[in-house]
Every structure is written in C-alpha cells, then in structure tokens.
Structure 1
Amino acid sequence: MTEAAAIARSGGPVTQARLTVDFRRLGLEPGMTVLVHTSMSRIGWVCGGARSVIEALFQAVGPEGTIVMPAQSSELSDPSGWCEPPVPQSWWDTIRASMPAFDPRLTPTRGIGAVAEVFRTWPGTRRSLHPQVSFSAHGPLAADILSSQPLEDPFGAISPLAVLNRTGAHVLMIGTGWDTCTALHLAERLADPQGSTFEDGTALFVDGERRWVRFRMPQTDVDRFPVLGARLDGHPMLRHGHVGAAPARLFPVDQAVSLAVQSWGQPALTP
C-alpha cells in the first residue's frame, strides 16, 4: 500500500500515544515478553512510521518487558530454490560464489516489513545467528531467548521459539494473517520431529573465512496455519482488538503451540 492510500484509509494520523493505548487495551502489560508481527500498511498513516510503533511497544511493556521480532533474511539461501522471483540457472554458481556471508549486524531482513527492519537496527537490539530465519530481541530476556538456534533445526526444541514457549511469552499479530505466525513452526517441529527436510545452502563465516555451506532445513507448511488459526480465533485464550485500523490478536505462545500440536495428530510436548 502506498503512503497516499494509507492516508486515504485513515480517519486521522495514528500517533504513538494512540498506539500505546491500543496496545494496552488489547492486553499488553509491563513485564510481558511479546513476539510481534506487524503490517504497517494495515495500521493506517502512522505519525513517525515504524519508529512510533516500536516506541509504543516499549512503552506498553516497560523496561522489564522484552520485545521479539522475526529477522528473516531469505535471500541468504541456495538460488536453485528461489521462486519469488526465480533466477536463471546460469546465474547460480556466480551467486553462490559471491553472496555476502551472513552478518547479524549488516544483513538486512527481507519480506517481513518496515517495523521488523527498523527494530533490527535499534540500539540495544540483539539478533540470533541463523543466516535465514533469525530473530531479534530487545529487553532483559533477549540474550536467553536468542542464545541458541541450530542451523539445521532453527524452530525446534532448542531455539528462540522454544524459549518463548516455556517462559510465558505472547504473540502479537498486528494486521497480519495466520500464515505469518512464526510460533506455529515450533508446533510443526514438536508434532513431527523427524519430518521431511530439504537441502539448502548459504554463505557463512567459518574460522574467519567466507564459505558456501550446505545444510538441510526442515520443511514447513504455512498453508495449514490459517485452518488452525480459524479455530484459535474462537478460543477464549485469544484476545482481539485493533491497533490503529489494523485488526490485532494477542495470545500466549504455549497454549497456541499446545493446541496446534494436538490438532496435527500428536500429544502435546514441552520442549
């Protein structure tokens, strides 16, 4: 959505003060740990843009709270698997030989919105070390949440999502659909720990040198998330509201993951 379209659909400027009120009405409280997914265009015209959204989140959870966001960099993958858009096969070897190695400070996010990218560069924000599906976090629990994210099992029992699951964290979805709900990837891994994988690759620093590293990643299936989400939307543990003009949801990670694991045919597990 263009800025002109955001202005046209807004009843007025969405200020940081209004965002803070909306977050509190939805249920954000001081000391909470929150995994946030945001579509800026759905909120309306925000005075101050992504910065105002982030500062309102900090104000809502206070200095004792921790904010977490995806920091995905999907372009750091093997070009043979690219489809949005694909590149000619004749380019693949050149891309593998010249792709910059992942650097948590320099590698930008891709396809997850302006708020997540601004948050990644916010003073004091930390980032996990997975080259494709990292998370960023700011607050007293950030180091613990981001401490481990295995290359070949980034969403499993030893991952930032697993820490969020066992520490009472919540998910906040601002104008985004269930297909963006990263926490459900943990449920996939718990429901089927030996699930299918695919071969991938990326550029990493190994012993101080850039190398092209091949590895296997778990296969994910976001197409089933909206079906589960329709059930979760009617569950009493989930709170609905609005942030600006955007429909929003707030719910606990552990309950959503437990229900998802049960729905996908396995007993609920605790990582």
Structure 2
Amino acid sequence: MKVTEQDAIRRTKMAVTRSALVEDFHRLGLKKAMTVIVHTSMSRIGWVCGGPVTVIEALQEVLTMEGTLVMPAHSADVSDPSDWDNPAVPASWWQSIYKEMPPFDPERTPTLGMGRVAECFRTFPGVKRSSHPIYSFAAWGAGAGAITSEHALDDGLGPASPLGKIYDRNGFVLLLGVGYGNNTSMHLGECFARRLQMIRRSSPVLIKNEKQWVTYRDWNYHEERFPRIGRAFEKKGAAGKALRNGTIGQAKSVLMSQRAIVDFTAETVRKG
C-alpha cells in the first residue's frame, strides 16, 4: 500500500530534519571516510523535511568526500520479457518488446523497485553508476569510480562486482527501515558458497552506439532465505561488534560489517 504524505505526517511524532538525521547516523555508528551501501525505506523514516534529498545529503555530510556512499540502482526490467513473472506479459508482446525496448543507459535508465531514495541518488551531482543492465550500482565519494568501474555482464553480484569491491574495502551495510530481505550484499555470500545454479539472461545494451541484445551468465539467487539467515546472524552473535541497532528518524535500522554478513551467509548456504 502506497504511503501518502498525509499518512507520513500522521505517523510522525516530530518533523525529521537533516540535522536530526545526521545525529541519528552518528549515534548508529556511521563515520567519516566509511564505505557504506545503503538500503532505505523512505516511508519508515517518517515525514522528512526535504524528502529523499535530505536523507542523501545527511549521509554525505556524515561520510564526507573521504568516504563512499553506495546504493543499488537495479533495473530488472531491462531484460528478456520471457523471463518476467512479477508481472508477466503476454507472449504475443515479446517480439515488440525485443524490437522497441531502449538499451540500458547509466544516465537515463530509471531504477526499478529500489525506492525513492535510491532513485533520487542516481541523479545526484558527482554520482557514478556502473554499467550492468540489471544489477547496476550508484556511488558517490572517494571510491565511487573504482567501485562502479568494469562491472562485467557475467559478474552482476559476484566477487568482481561493486559488491565485491565493497567487501575488499571492509565496507558496511546500512539497512535503514528495511530488513535482511533487502540486503543485496548477501547475494555475494551466495556466490562465495558456490551452491547456486547458473542461468542465462539477456538485455539490450549499446555497443558502438548501436542497440544489441546480449546474453550473459547469471545465478539463480534465493533472497527468500535472507531474513532467516539475518536472524541467525544476530541471534548467534556472529556479528559481534560488527553490528549496531538503532533508529534513524522513526525507522528501525541496522549498521553492520558487510564482510561479516557476507561470510556468515556463505557459511550458512554451504551447510544447507
């Protein structure tokens, strides 16, 4: 159910401002020069003065240009319509879609299902976006170029993807009003476990200024198990000092070591 502005006002005890968000981020453990991937539910934060722009600017203020802010910019609809199931489209439409679908463009292709903050973030000054047609990531700050460069088609969420580069930098995950089911980094753990079935996908991309449908390797991910793995991660104390719970605005939030949750996911998936 879509939350209206009136709903947000009614549910919010006090207006959420940029300065209040900065205080909340500091209290949760976010610091200058961190590398952090953020997943956000705008409606859970409450009524924010300035909306998504305020949330992004507060994050940037805390991290500073010495840090790196990352958000998923996925566009799963830039893909083969025969794979669509939520919702599916009639098979009689497929040929028209193959012919007319615009190719992926990092500057113009909108995100799908990523939320208002992530969609706003991809258009922010200084933000870079990786080139994968369905699994792109947007980043700002010191490591933005390195994290978003050379995002291979065959490694959408794997070790050489932006997720793997965050892992190599000992980065963090911030779940802001969302649960482990939204924790994209756990897919990297699935890749490390080597228990996934390989599948093939197709997307339209620009090659030498011409649209071409390309086929590439992907994995059959299982994010439906992430909430259970996340609960075990917290219950068993696997996170240790690598996890902190708090509130951002009105949103229950978790800041954790990305490496800790990725490694725990890999270990759990290996054990079955």
The answer to whether TM tops 0.5 is: yes
1:109-258 matches, within 5 Å, as: 109-192=111-194, 195-234=196-235, 235=237, 236=240, 237-258=242-263
Distance in 1 of aligned mates of 2:233 and 2:26: 21
- Partner amino acid for 2:87? P
Partner of 1:16: 18
Assess if the C-alpha contact under 8 Å between 2:197 and 2:219 holds in 1: yes
4+ residue segments displaced more than 3 Å: none
Name the SS for the 1:260 alignment partner.
helix
Identity %: 43
- Partner amino acid for 1:245? Q
Q: Normalising by structure 2, what TM-score? A: 0.94
Partner of 1:269: none
Q: Is 1:264 matched with 2:264?
A: no
| More divergent stretch after superposition (72-81 vs 144-153) | 144-153
Q: Normalising by structure 1, what TM-score? A: 0.95
Assess if the C-alpha contact under 8 Å between 1:146 and 1:160 holds in 2: yes
From 56, 69, 81, the counterpart of 1:67: 69
| More divergent stretch after superposition (16-25 vs 76-85) | 76-85
Distance in 2 of aligned mates of 1:24 and 1:123: 24
Q: Alignment RMSD, CA only?
A: 1.2
1:97-112 matches, within 5 Å, as: 97-112=99-114
Name the SS for the 1:13 alignment partner.
coil
Partner of 2:54: 52
Q: Alpha-carbon deviation of 1:47?
A: 0.5
Distance in 2 of aligned mates of 1:257 and 1:85: 30
Distance in 1 of aligned mates of 2:220 and 2:270: 17
Q: Alpha-carbon deviation of 1:183?
A: 0.5
Assess if the C-alpha contact under 8 Å between 1:153 and 1:218 holds in 2: no
